[in-house]
Structure 1
Amino acid sequence: MTWKIIFDGKGFKKVEMQDETLKEGHIKIKPIFYSVCGTDKSILLGKYKLEKPIALGHEIAGIVMEGNGIDIAGNELKVGDYVALYPNYFCEKCIDCLNRNFNACRNKVMIGVRTDGGLSEYMMVDPRFLLKLPEDLQKILGPIIEPVAVGIHALKKFEEKDRRSVIIGLGGTGSLAYETARILGFNDVVAVEKNERKLELARMIGIRAFPSIREALSNKAINVLDTVGDNKSIGEIESALDLIPSKSEIVITGLGNEVLSFHRDSLIRRELTIKGSIIYNPTDFIEASEIVYANQQYYLKYITKVVKLSDPDILPSLLLDENNLKIIIIIQ
């Protein structure tokens, strides 16, 4: 027998079930660490409608327990290897995959969002969607490879690094993107966060953070990375459109069902550029692992809460937590 922690749209329940037979060409992994994401919160709040009850968890790192194969970077996998899950399975056949825009795959399978994820004793995974991690990587950093990759892909959308870059939202993606931007050579990075506790935490670890975008602006063109992407964060940008210098760029990563709107005259008169950014490609994911490995001491400080999963009943409070930057759950 094995187990999964299933969310049915109302609550979490640990469910025992028969062991799955390992499919040919797949690898059995034991999820160890689960990094809480804003998407998990959206599922819990009903903003993402579940097609069926599932085990959540897509920012996952674990250990290979059975099987072998070649990972997404071409590394050979064997039992005992520590791996990060690449949780967005792409088909390699649709028009976007054929153009190597795997992040925009039309048939994408989102693990932990549309089908069972890492809140389980074991997972059966095609090795093409795993990445072997260095043996001497601090293990708790394994599950943040995924959100760091989101930041890398979004930051590459900006044309210039030699201007102020404003990160909106200091949740997991935003706070990690702040550090990643600095590592990638963006030379003037600041952040905006409304939550007073997060703002305090951010300042304590050295983030230059402000409670409003108006306080974060420069007198020259800026980059704005909105890692929230809802009407509140867009409203924050809108509130400062009269002050944002012309030729600034805005990149939006957050997904949701809201219809977002900008004042057309402001966009046109200031020649602002708005771009969307969806997850990452394999190259971004591999780069994320290399950057995190080379800068472990810097990324560790963004993990502000670590909890052992003793009971499924603690999950709602962890997923809805608004007072930490990055929360890591030890699954088993």
Structure 2
Amino acid sequence: MKALVYTAPGKVEVQDIPVPEGRSGMAKVKMHYCGVCGTDIGIFAGKHPRAQAPLTLGHEFVGSIEEICDGSGRFAPGDRVVAYPLISCGHCLACRTGHPHVCETLKLIGIDRDGGMAGYAWIDEDVLFKVPDTLSDQIAALVEPLAVVVRSLHQAEFNLLDTTVVTGAGPIGVLTAIVLKHSGASRIIVSDVDDARLELCRSFGFETVNVRDASLVDYVKDSTNGEGVDIVFECSGVESAAVEMTKILRIGGTICMTGIHKAPRTVDLREMNFKEQKLIGTRVYTKREFEMSVAYAQELAADLEKVITQTVPLSKSEGIFAMIADPSVNAVKVLVDCQA
């Protein structure tokens, strides 16, 4: 079968590799589509601390079951499925106290073991979820990043009519804003440096600020009578957002750290004290939130479809990371067609 294999920093290859073998309790899944995540970009760059070459990439995938090895009866050949890709140890403190999604040795399919940018994969049956017939394969491939956003809103304790800022208009930032719209946010301001991504945000009705041309702090203060917003979702992972997030948040407001910062940042802790602001972290999602996102994707399908900007055949995917990095391409969410 063909697979997109990370072979060295800055290098991926489409290789013909053997179809892996399954074991009891696993299903052989024919891959249909797999999304490219920011984590995949980090792996390609050689910056992920765990990913080791050779590695078949991909943890945001949808496919159909072709075979089940000693299954439970929950699934049958032909079922379309998505997979909860987290692998927890089951015995650390987090796992023992009901938080296996933040396991001390958390691993993921597509990072710590071969993933879904391939013709087939064998997946443990107990992490599979059926895809409704009304949900397209392409939208189903967005269930995993959608689950990240669902977790983020839960962690932030979002309330109806909250005012919000989303810093960063990458895939997670755009999905966050979409979920906020459907969840009843009274105001959604999205900041970024990319005009094309901000134009996409404006097509959804969001306010936008290009922080290369204007001050986000001034915009928020001027448009809120100096009060700030209820919640800031930091989705960019960049230093300037960390510096400014306390300044655009109201007294008693919440900052939700959705984006992963790869280095220590300067944060105005004095302002957090004086304003009694709350800072909450969020990492991936629970199994329940992943399951919820399968159903939720149906409600958001029309908006989610607009986020998918490119689909690349697996057979021609060796240049996919160069394409994503090219600003003229205007990539937001890119899918790999695993059967093309």
Selected match of 2:237 from 218, 224, 229: 229
**Does residue 289 of structure 2 align to residue 290 of structure 1?**
no
Q: Which residue of 2 aligns with 1:326?
A: 333
| Secondary structure, counterpart of 1:115 in structure 2 | coil
Distance 1:301 1:5, change over 3 A: closer
Selected match of 2:251 from 236, 243, 246: 246
**Does residue 147 of structure 2 align to residue 139 of structure 1?**
no
In 1, the alpha carbon distance for the partners of 2:294 and 2:36 equals 18
In 2, the alpha carbon distance for the partners of 1:320 and 1:4 equals 21
In 2, the alpha carbon distance for the partners of 1:142 and 1:159 equals 26
Deviation per CA, 1:199-243: give whole Å up to 9, x if none.
1222234333222432245335420011122324323436xx2x5
- Structure 1 residue 139 displacement after superposition: 1.7
In 2, the alpha carbon distance for the partners of 1:18 and 1:84 equals 22
In 2, the alpha carbon distance for the partners of 1:182 and 1:299 equals 12
After TM superposition, list the pairs within 5 Å mapping 1:251-266 onto structure 2: 251-266=256-271
Distance 1:55 1:268, change over 3 A: same
Task: Please tell me the residue identity of whatever aligns with 2:166.
Answer: I
In 1, the alpha carbon distance for the partners of 2:18 and 2:131 equals 30
Task: Please tell me the residue identity of whatever aligns with 1:278.
Answer: R
In 1, the alpha carbon distance for the partners of 2:87 and 2:125 equals 11
| Secondary structure, counterpart of 2:303 in structure 1 | helix
**Does residue 26 of structure 2 align to residue 26 of structure 1?**
yes
Q: How much identity, in percent, do the aligned residues show? A: 23
Deviation per CA, 1:90-136: give whole Å up to 9, x if none.
23332212222121012322111222111112111101122111012
| Secondary structure, counterpart of 1:278 in structure 2 | coil
After TM superposition, list the pairs within 5 Å mapping 1:96-245 onto structure 2: 96-161=94-159, 162-212=161-211, 213-214=216-217, 215-216=219-220, 218=224, 219-237=227-245, 241=247, 244-245=249-250
Contact 1:41–1:320, Cα closer than 8 Å, also in 2: no
Q: Could you tell which deviates more after superposition, 175-184 or 89-98?
A: 89-98
Distance 1:171 1:321, change over 3 A: farther
Distance 1:329 1:135, change over 3 A: same
| Secondary structure, counterpart of 1:295 in structure 2 | helix
Q: Which residue of 1 aligns with 2:43?
A: 43
Task: Please tell me the residue identity of whatever aligns with 1:46.
Answer: G
| Secondary structure, counterpart of 1:120 in structure 2 | coil
| Secondary structure, counterpart of 2:291 in structure 1 | helix
Task: Please tell me the residue identity of whatever aligns with 2:338.
Answer: I
Contact 2:324–2:331, Cα closer than 8 Å, also in 1: no
Q: Could you tell which deviates more after superposition, 126-135 or 203-212?
A: 203-212
Where structure 2 has 5 or more consecutive residues not aligned to the other structure, the ranges are none
Task: Please tell me the residue identity of whatever aligns with 2:12.
Answer: F
| Secondary structure, counterpart of 2:151 in structure 1 | helix
Distance 1:56 1:169, change over 3 A: same
- Structure 1 residue 303 displacement after superposition: 1.7
- Structure 1 residue 252 displacement after superposition: 0.7
| Secondary structure, counterpart of 1:296 in structure 2 | helix
In 2, the alpha carbon distance for the partners of 1:15 and 1:36 equals 18
| Secondary structure, counterpart of 1:182 in structure 2 | helix
In 1, the alpha carbon distance for the partners of 2:112 and 2:91 equals 20
Task: Please tell me the residue identity of whatever aligns with 2:260.
Answer: L
The list of structure 1 runs, each at least 4 consecutive aligned residues, that deviate by more than 4 angstroms after superposition, is none
CA-atom RMSD in angstroms: 2.1
In 2, the alpha carbon distance for the partners of 1:121 and 1:160 equals 39
Q: Could you tell which deviates more after superposition, 42-51 or 111-120?
A: 42-51
Contact 1:40–1:319, Cα closer than 8 Å, also in 2: no
Q: Taking structure 2 as the reference length, what is the TM-score of the superposition? A: 0.88
Distance 1:230 1:47, change over 3 A: farther
